[in-house]
Amino acid sequence: MQPIEVRYPIYTIDQVELFAPGDFVSEETLDDLIARRPKPVPQPRSLLDFETTRADIQSLFDTPSYRIIFSDAKRNREVLDLLEKVELIPPVLASLDYFRVLDKYTYRHILLVMMVSALLARELLDAPPDQVIEAMTGPMHDIGKICVPLDILQKTTPLDMEERRHLEHHTVAGYALLAYYLRDPRGLAAVVARDHHERRDGTGYPRGIHLQDPLVEIIVACDVFDALISERPYRPQSYDNRTALDVLVGMADKGALDSRVVRALVSFNRQSHPHYKDCELSQERRGSPPANNLYQLRSDDDTSRR
């Protein structure tokens, strides 16, 4: 990968600075950092047995906007069984806890993206359970938001250019943090954190690459979907599911998202849950974005920039 120059510091949950403004993040600089990292490596612990995660996930199955997606108890059980196997090391769990206490939106978002990605990975990938589990640890994707001030994350008015840059920093920060914690700059979890705002057509950030990784693209689509249908600080009223899916179909049409993944999301939102291959995507746009949206979402892509 091309080194990425950072404009803001990257620090761990214990306030250890890994990169300062002007430093370059690359596989090589991370390898170097990892080699200097103190040992022993902390032992991973079960995600579901951490703090209130199990109960929080149980209650998220009842989220109104996810009612149809999570309408099949057997399928939900399978998601929980997979989540049961997810293990994370203590500093990563502590980062999740940071959001649980200080930024509920990000906490809830991380868990929901993880849950829906698991459903889609099962459906779309001919992947062994191990890979599906790996796909679910990936959605610690927003962990880099610990390096973005809370007043930017929770701002209720439009961000200025500098604030937006600081917010977008969460991708590179998350990449560095997960690479460092998991001692693997090439592993899926770190790559997801870095690339989850990239797009297939190269219109994303931080690098503007043409995304083409089936697992990452599942998380990308779930990320956009949840961002649309959830309340956000700058948009008290969320998109309804139909309008959100319209946006995703539009993004797939212009080549930004994987249409297979979008089709699967549409099928999970239908009561009858047809197989995604049989799920026709309507070209008709029937929904309308919410009113009083302070952020004034101008383009489809803008909808997922936070």
Tell me, residue by residue from 8 to 37, as one string, x for binding to Fe ion by CB under 5 A and - for no binding: ------------------------------
How many residues of this chain interact with Fe ion, rule: CB under 5 A? Answer: 2
Minimum distance from residue 35 beta carbon to Fe ion (Å)? 28
Minimum distance from residue 78 beta carbon to Fe ion (Å)? 23
Of residues 247 and 279, the one with the C-beta less far from Fe ion: 247
Minimum distance from residue 219 beta carbon to Fe ion (Å)? 8
Of residues 195 and 279, the one with the C-beta less far from Fe ion: 195
**Cα of 109 vs its chain's centroid, Å:** 7
Contact 222, 66 (CB under 8 A): no
Cis, peptide link before residue 40, omega less than 30° from 0:
yes
User: With binding defined as CB under 5 A, does residue 103 bind Fe ion?
Assistant: no
| Tokens matching residue 271 | 């009561």
Cis, peptide link before residue 274, omega less than 30° from 0:
no
User: With binding defined as CB under 5 A, does residue 258 bind Fe ion?
Assistant: no
Of 232, 243, 229, the closest CA to residue 284 belongs to 243
Q: How far apart are CA 186 and CA 302, in angstroms?
A: 28
Of 244, 257, 181, 267, the closest CA to residue 213 belongs to 257
Minimum distance from residue 96 beta carbon to Fe ion (Å)? 13
Of residues 103 and 142, the one with the C-beta less far from Fe ion: 142
Of residues 103 and 223, the one with the C-beta less far from Fe ion: 223
Q: How far apart are CA 247 and CA 302, in angstroms?
A: 11
Minimum distance from residue 167 beta carbon to Fe ion (Å)? 9
Of residues 142 and 258, the one with the C-beta less far from Fe ion: 142
Q: How far apart are CA 206 and CA 169, in angstroms?
A: 8
User: With binding defined as CB under 5 A, does residue 223 bind Fe ion?
Assistant: yes
Of residues 206 and 279, the one with the C-beta less far from Fe ion: 206
Q: Which residues pair with 45 in a beta bridge?
A: 88
Of 130-169, binders to Fe ion (CB under 5 A) are 142
Q: How far apart are CA 120 and CA 149, in angstroms?
A: 32
Minimum distance from residue 223 beta carbon to Fe ion (Å)? 4
DSSP letter at 270 equals S
Minimum distance from residue 171 beta carbon to Fe ion (Å)? 6
DSSP letter at 158 equals -
| 131 CB neighbour count, 10 Å cutoff | 14
Of residues 123 and 223, the one with the C-beta less far from Fe ion: 223
Binding site for Fe ion (CB under 5 A): 142, 223
